[in-house]
Structure 1
Amino acid sequence: MRTVLDLSEITRVLAVLAHPDDVDFGSAGTIASWTDAGVEVTYLIVTDGDAGGFDDGITRAEMAELRRKEQRAAAEAAGVTDVRFLGHPDGRLEPGFGLRRDIARVIRQVRPDRVLTHSPERNYQRIAPSHPDHRVVGGATLDAVYPDARNPYAFPELREEGLEAWTVREVWLSGGPTPDFSVDVTEQFGRKLTALKAHATQTAHMGDGLEEMLRGWMGASAAAAGFGDGRLAESFQVVDTA
């Protein structure tokens, strides 16, 4: 039987996602429940999302600045104030030691008990969560958790920066094909919706369809978890990494 760390055991969480809005589509309700419980949550967004959006009247640099602003506003809705960006190229992420080092650096800075990230597996039931950037970030984050962040001899430049090794106890994977744990976020749904509406470059064109879409898939997740009629859930695969 897979166990999940109780919130009483969690002080800090690091959420590592590929693009602005990824954390809000997959996890904003869950994160709001954590911040409500007093957990400190940090967002690490690997790209600026400059390859996304529907406004051809602005430059890609302007889009990147706008999407950072949207992500910070969305984070506030979930109770998160620490939002960091790595600035890697949107749509062109590749696995490699540089990305692993950048994520391991922030793991050692934040020293989280739990990390939340993308599943590195392709989901053939819902293709959108399997964006290539998502899979690259999920794989790099798992590698940064184990072995990089905990190995004092990995990336010696991090130790030279004063960042000592740190062991993450648990990783939550979002968007994968084999979720095994669900969180009832019915009470946090309004804040999730507010967070997603803050990403106007990505969601304004959807109008009322955004809420309808969210209720559809979150209701299905809640039903699969046995939460009952009218409930809404976010689902994850939980990996013990202690």
Structure 2
Amino acid sequence: MSNEKEYLPKIAMSIQAHPDDQDFTVAGTLAKWAKAGCKVISVLITSGDSGSNDVTKGADYKPVLAKLREAEQLAANEVLGIAETVFLHYPDGELTASLALRKDLTRLIRMYKPDVVVSGDPSAWFYGNGYINHPDHRAAAEAATYAVFPSAGTRLMFTDLLEAGYEPHNVKRLYIHGSEKSDTWVDIGETIDIKIEALKKHVSQSDTHDVDDWMHEWAKEEGKEKGLDFAEAYKVMILKKEDDIPGGKTTVKGGQKP
């Protein structure tokens, strides 16, 4: 996909497993969209309540840590210009791509009606030879993908949502980060420093403290293929494409019906 004319959604939804996930991965894109007038909704499935290996802390620290990490995410989202933040409070480290989770995400998609959903790659098990993808990441990505399609747009799926007034909604594009087969690059030259500022709000997490060089190098590597100084890369599923011709027909992929 050419970057000469980057796609700008009116409403976008980021769905991630833990606080700080989006800030490591897609925050530059979200900040850029928000600056351009896009309403961005940030959905955190867990509150990161298992995110500590402090030997002085016991199980009673989990709710304390959850509140701390939620506050950190809210501070980060304020930096990014994100309009709304939703915490679903699923247990950190125990996430599965359950029907209950898919239904929760379907409800949110039908409620906010985003043009774009941004999530991870459910097929990603390994990155290089030094990182095993967290199972929560894969579960969140799988549930988000199937909430986007087929659940959000299928009228008689989760009929209790329909009865509660949540009408079907067809997402136009799914942006998948962390894919080994990226086809779309977002230039984040104007927002790389905003991304780093947001990431540093996660002060409870030691790996977010000295990230300036790391984030610049990572974004530079992502953009190198397209001649961009700093970029975030995605595989983009175009699920609904409206023709540029006024009154033109709507082309639909993935089996969705307009």
Q: TM-score, normalised by structure 2?
A: 0.85
Partner of 2:25: 26
Measured after TM superposition, the shift of residue 213 of structure 1 is 1.3
Partner of 1:241: 239
Between the aligned residues of both structures, percent identity stands at 34
Partner of 1:153: 156
Amino acid at match of 1:115: V
Larger % of helix: which? 1
Measured after TM superposition, the shift of residue 219 of structure 1 is 1.1
Larger Cα-atom Rg: 2
How far apart, CA to CA, are the structure 1 residues paired with 2:133 and 2:182?
14
Residue 144 (structure 1) aligned with residue 142 (structure 2): no
Amino acid at match of 1:112: P
Partner of 2:137: 134
Gap regions ≥5 residues in structure 2? 241-258
Partner of 2:188: 185
Partner of 1:81: 83
Gap regions ≥5 residues in structure 1? none
Which contiguous aligned blocks of 4+ residues in structure 1 show a shift greater than 2 angstroms?
1-6, 53-58, 123-130, 205-208
How far apart, CA to CA, are the structure 2 residues paired with 1:176 and 1:30?
16
Amino acid at match of 1:106: L
Cα RMSD of the aligned pairs, angstroms, is 2.0
Partner of 1:199: 202
Compared CA separation, residues 128 and 64, structure 1 to 2 (3 A): farther
Compared CA separation, residues 2 and 211, structure 1 to 2 (3 A): closer
How far apart, CA to CA, are the structure 1 residues paired with 2:154 and 2:31?
31
Partner of 1:107: 109
Count of matched residue positions in the alignment of Structure 1 and Structure 2: 235
How far apart, CA to CA, are the structure 2 residues paired with 1:38 and 1:129?
36
Q: TM-score, normalised by structure 1?
A: 0.91
Q: Is the contact between residue 129 and residue 175 of structure 1 (CA under 8 Å) also seen in structure 2?
A: no
Compared CA separation, residues 215 and 104, structure 1 to 2 (3 A): same
Partner of 1:61: 63
